[in-house]
């Protein structure tokens, strides 16, 4: 007997919790994530919702004539063509807030790892070098007395700033418009921020304005004691310029959780001694990813039960 439930398309990989919970209420149509939409015309006609982690192109959206709702797994939703969705009156949701704390915690850990070289120190111990060669060399950098600039003071950026306050560092930030609920110094330009701070933490989404924003000029302004931490999007940083800056001492160190062409990380970055690298794990704990998965599912349930998404993105409409 044909399934009469609402059909939800799941292209490619997503948290198993999403598919487990969705299958209790919806018909799931799982397809590989590729350049072509591997759906029959009959299946495409039935699809009314999408649960996706990653890209959903305008071409895919165009092939789903009855699509109403796209639930994107993650706070960033730059992989979904929201303009194509908005043009069709399709609502897009994301998963904000539930990952703020985890990403902020990871950011602080990555900053400490970078300035104090803690991963290298652990490796020194594990390799037996403490016993055979003596203490691990003193870290050339410290967080003490630093001035930290935050590139993007949204929900996660604000949580990062609050965690930094007990470290007794100065905090400034760069956004298009100043916030009225914080006392940190505001800089309207990234270059202006980089000129006065010696740690730059980037936590901005991928937009035309942020692509390549941290370039050779910004790195030069950050200076030879400068430390760059990127937990936002890999595309924000000009990777060749960063590699050059790390090699020639333009800046002192960098800690990166995101990269331009994930999961491909330039070997030049991997080989550098003054870099701390993570494989895009800022939100990657079981509790946080489960909360994100639940919000994906709850958005779809809410939409098809009430006509309203729980966390719609601002670019797409919502029924009254």
| Per-residue pLDDT tens over the stretch 207-224 | 999 999 999 999 999 999
Q: How much is the pLDDT for 4?
A: 72
pLDDT at 249 over 90: yes
The question of whether 280 is a catalytic residue gets the answer: yes
Q: Containing domain of residue 268, as a range? A: 100-277
Q: How much is the pLDDT for 286?
A: 97
What percent of the chain has a predicted confidence (pLDDT) above 70?
98
The answer for residues whose C-beta is within 8 angstroms of residue 36's C-beta and 6 or more apart is none
pLDDT at 2 over 70: no
Of 88, 116, 220, 280, which is the active-site residue? Answer: 280
Cα–Cα dist 197/217, whole Å = 14
Of 36, 262, 308, 315, which is the active-site residue? Answer: 262
pLDDT at 290 over 50: yes
Task: Enter the tokens of residue 257.
Answer: 């959780």
Query: Do the domain assignments include residue 41?
Result: yes
**What is the domain count for the chain?**
2
Query: Do the domain assignments include residue 273?
Result: yes
Question: Quick one: average pLDDT of 43-62?
Answer: 96
Q: Are residues 79 and 169 in the same domain?
A: no
Task: Enter the tokens of residue 227.
Answer: 């430390």
Helix pair 118-126, 100-116: axis angle to 10 deg = 70
Cα–Cα dist 290/310, whole Å = 17
Q: Are residues 54 and 189 in the same domain?
A: no
Query: Do the domain assignments include residue 1?
Result: no
Question: Quick one: average pLDDT of 224-236?
Answer: 98
Q: Are residues 135 and 268 in the same domain?
A: yes
Q: 276 vs 2, which has greater pLDDT?
A: 276
Q: Are residues 172 and 227 in the same domain?
A: yes
Task: Enter the tokens of residue 126.
Answer: 């594990």
Query: Do the domain assignments include residue 318?
Result: no
CATH of the domain at 129: 3.40.50.720
Of 102, 233, 239, 289, which is the active-site residue? Answer: 233
Q: Are residues 88 and 142 in the same domain?
A: no
The question of whether 233 is a catalytic residue gets the answer: yes
Query: Do the domain assignments include residue 282?
Result: no
Q: 33 vs 162, which has greater pLDDT?
A: 162
Q: Are residues 250 and 263 in the same domain?
A: yes
The question of whether 43 is a catalytic residue gets the answer: no
Q: Are residues 150 and 240 in the same domain?
A: yes
Q: How much is the pLDDT for 172?
A: 98
Q: Are residues 267 and 293 in the same domain?
A: no
Among candidate residues 263, 258, 251, 269, the one with its CA nearest the CA of residue 236: 258
| Per-residue pLDDT tens over the stretch 118-157 | 999 999 999 999 999 999 999 999 999 999 999 999 999 9
Q: Are residues 42 and 106 in the same domain?
A: no
User: Are the C-beta atoms of residues 33 and 57 closer than 8 Å to each other?
Assistant: no
Task: Enter the tokens of residue 270.
Answer: 């991997």
Q: Are residues 291 and 235 in the same domain?
A: no
Cα–Cα dist 26/121, whole Å = 50
Query: Do the domain assignments include residue 314?
Result: no
Q: How much is the pLDDT for 37?
A: 81
Query: Do the domain assignments include residue 239?
Result: yes
Question: Quick one: average pLDDT of 79-97?
Answer: 97
Among candidate residues 105, 106, 127, 109, the one with its CA nearest the CA of residue 118: 109
Q: Are residues 94 and 158 in the same domain?
A: no
Query: Do the domain assignments include residue 94?
Result: yes
The answer for residues whose C-beta is within 8 angstroms of residue 91's C-beta and 6 or more apart is 68, 69, 70, 85, 303, 309, 312, 316, 317, 318, 319
Q: Are residues 125 and 245 in the same domain?
A: yes
pLDDT band (50, 70, 90) for residue 319: low
């Amino acid at each position: 007997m044909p399934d009469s439930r609402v059909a939800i398309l799941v292209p490619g990989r997503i948290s198993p919790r999403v598919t487990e919970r969705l299958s209790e209420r919806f018909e799931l149509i799982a397809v590989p994530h590729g350049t072509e939409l591997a759906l029959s015309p009959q299946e495409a006609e039935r699809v009314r919702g999408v649960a996706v982690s990653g890209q959903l192109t305008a071409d895919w959206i165009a092939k789903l004539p009855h699509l109403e709702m796209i639930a994107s797994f993650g706070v960033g939703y730059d992989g979904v063509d929201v303009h194509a969705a908005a043009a069709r009156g399709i609502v897009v949701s994301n998963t904000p807030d539930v990952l703020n704390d985890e990403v902020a915690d990871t950011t602080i850990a990555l900053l400490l790892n970078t300035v104090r070289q803690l991963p290298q120190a652990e490796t020194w111990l594990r390799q037996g070098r403490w016993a055979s060669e003596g203490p691990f060399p003193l870290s050339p950098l410290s967080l003490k007395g630093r001035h930290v600039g935050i590139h993007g003071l949204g929900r996660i950026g604000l949580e990062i700033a609050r965690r930094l306050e007990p470290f007794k560092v100065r905090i400034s930030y760069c956004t298009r418009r100043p916030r009225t609920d914080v006392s940190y110094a505001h800089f309207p330009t990234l270059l202006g921020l980089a000129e006065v701070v010696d740690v730059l933490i980037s936590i901005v989404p991928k937009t035309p304005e942020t692509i390549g924003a941290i370039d050779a000029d910004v790195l030069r302004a950050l200076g030879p004691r400068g430390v760059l931490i990127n937990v936002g999007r890999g595309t924000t940083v000009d990777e060749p310029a960063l590699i050059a800056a790390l090699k020639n001492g333009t800046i002192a160190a960098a800690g990166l959780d995101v990269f331009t062409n994930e999961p491909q990380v330039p070997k030049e970055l991997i080989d550098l001694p003054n870099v701390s690298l993570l494989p895009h794990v800022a939100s990657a704990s079981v509790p946080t990813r489960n909360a994100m998965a639940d919000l994906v599912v709850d958005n779809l349930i809410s939409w098809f039960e009430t006509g309203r998404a729980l966390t719609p993105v601002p670019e797409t409409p919502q029924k009254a």
